[in-house]
Amino acid sequence: MSKPTLPDGLVVVVKRDCETCQTVVPVLQQLAAAGDVTVYSQDDPGFPGDPVSVYDADLAVSWHHDIETVPTLIKVADGAEIERTVGWLRTDWEALTGISGLGPGLPPMRPGCGSKSVDPDLVDELNVVHGGSVLRSRRIEVAEAEDEIEMMFTRGWTDGLPVVPPTEQRVLKMLTGTTRAPDDIVATVPPDLVDITVEKVAISAVMAGCLPEYLPWVLTAVEAVCNDEFNMHGLLATTMPVGPVLVCSGPGTRAIGMNSGINALGQGNRANSTIGRALQLVVRNVGGGRPGEVDRAAHGNPGKLSFCFAENDAESPFGTLAGQHGIEPDVDAITVFAGEGPRGIVDQLSRTPESLANTLAAQLQVIHHHKLVLGFDAILLMGPEHARVFADAGWERDRILFELHMRLTTPAAVLERGAGDISEGIPVGMSTADLPKFRPDGLMLAYAGGGAGLFSSIIPGWVNGEMGSKPVTREVRY
């Protein structure tokens, strides 16, 4: 709809459901007696009655002319706004109209009320009706008797759980979460190698249940997994139970209410649950990565619905995982990691860093298989009480990782196929030296979890290197 032109002279926008608008009715009568004034009423065609108003029934005038408060008084010349004032302030109304002695007997000032055109219950619909749609996605007509939730199940658009219908109003509202244009290309999504726009990501974010302020994190996650380094196609095609793990950090995680504390890897937090879910819906619905087709996981894991959490970087004694990958402190960032579901480590008794390091190394050694080395990465997610043991001893990130690598180095003879009467292992004669469990950058350290409980967790990774996946860290773009 085109923008309505305001008539020359004085224009006042009011609504009956506003005490200040009712208060200034005598002033409107004074203005009408003095010359040209047009009154638009947002909610009642009979208000104020004298003078007679124009009914802004569809709120087109209010929406197109950015009326945020009523009453709003506007001076118009040659169809263009010259000046405006909001609420009732006698001195401002007299200055704008050039008429003195307005509203005798009225208080000199009263604040206005919220315009109906910015009512949270109406604004999304008004944006669609009056904004002129910027959306380019194909519209799906749903029959009146058809259940839209069941329809999306039937068409295969869900991850097994109900999704939110991505109406035009919801998608437009989601797009307010970013400054990026709806038609900007975000990435090329594997396995079908389909270009995806900001708009299409916003649709998945709506379906996942995200709030608009989550959208920059979803966009960043999509960018981080859709590249050769992360190898999302390979991650789908493998029979191992792996999927994208999103480790978020920076002040933005707290601004959107992400959970980095109690139950950080569990249910109950909207941001954690829906950001990761939105990424998975992008890969499924845009990229074509569906279970039983390209997705060939033998067992999978529940994290393939969503595996996303925040580090407690505000309290971490050794920085963040993003920092380990070169991101400056206090910068919002996501590290994506090709990982399995978490497994817990219990050590309630260690009070020295050496003892705790021995425990952690023993548990890290057995991921995937205790005789398989160098081929897999892992994230050690340390809880606050375990981290405190190292912090109290002055061990920082580099020292912790060094000590763990030292404890995770094993004689090659012990790792060879057949050793210990176990067929699995490294090829015989592969090495005569001791071998580390992880490549130099293959063990990563993150900090999250509840303050009580001497626990940590391991997130084992998929195959690393050129044939597998590399962790990718990206700053969040808003």
Question: Quick one: 255 exposed, middle or buried, by C-beta within 10 A (0-12, 13-18, 19+)?
Answer: exposed
> Which helix (H) or strand (E) element contains residue 364?
helix 353-365
Percentage above 90 pLDDT, the chain:
92
Closest CA to 186 of 208, 156, 215: 215
The mean per-residue pLDDT over the stretch 450-467 comes to: 95
Instruction: List pLDDT tens digits, range 310-368.
Output: 999 999 999 999 999 999 999 999 999 999 999 999 999 999 999 999 999 999 999 99
Q: What angle do CA 465, 468, 474 make, to 5 degrees?
A: 80
| Structure confidence by residue, pLDDT tens digits, 379-410 | 999 999 999 999 999 999 999 999 999 999 99
Q: Is the pLDDT of residue 458 over 70?
A: yes
At 136 the pLDDT is 86
Q: Name the residue among 412, 416, 436, 432 with its Cα closest to residue 424.
A: 416
Question: Which token pair is 190?
Answer: 């594997």
Q: pLDDT digit string (tens) for 198-225?
A: 999 999 999 999 999 999 999 999 999 9
434, 373 Cβ separation under 8 angstroms: no
Q: What is the pLDDT of residue 289?
A: 96
Token pair of 373 as six digits: 């080395």
What pLDDT was estimated at residue 467?
87
**Sequence spans of domains, the chain:** 9-123, 153-475
Q: Dihedral through CA 105, CA 111, CA 116, CA 121, nearest 10?
A: -140
Confidence of residue 129 (pLDDT cuts 50, 70, 90): confident
CA 200 to CA 286: how far, in whole Å? 8
Q: Quote the pTM value.
A: 0.85
pLDDT at 177 over 80: yes
Please give the mean pLDDT across all residues of the chain: 96
Q: Which two tokens stand for residue 301?
A: 């894991």
Least-confidence region, from 107-111, 309-313, 336-340, 463-467: 463-467
Contact predicate 256/170, CB 8 Å: no
- Cβ neighbours of residue 154 under 8 Å, at least 6 residues apart? none
What does the block give as tokens for 290? 């569906």
- The answer to whether domain 9-123 has CATH 1.20.120.140 is no
What digits encode the pLDDT tens for the residues 68-90? 999 999 999 999 999 999 999 99
101 Cβ contact list (under 8 Å, min separation 6):
94
What pLDDT score does 1 carry? 60
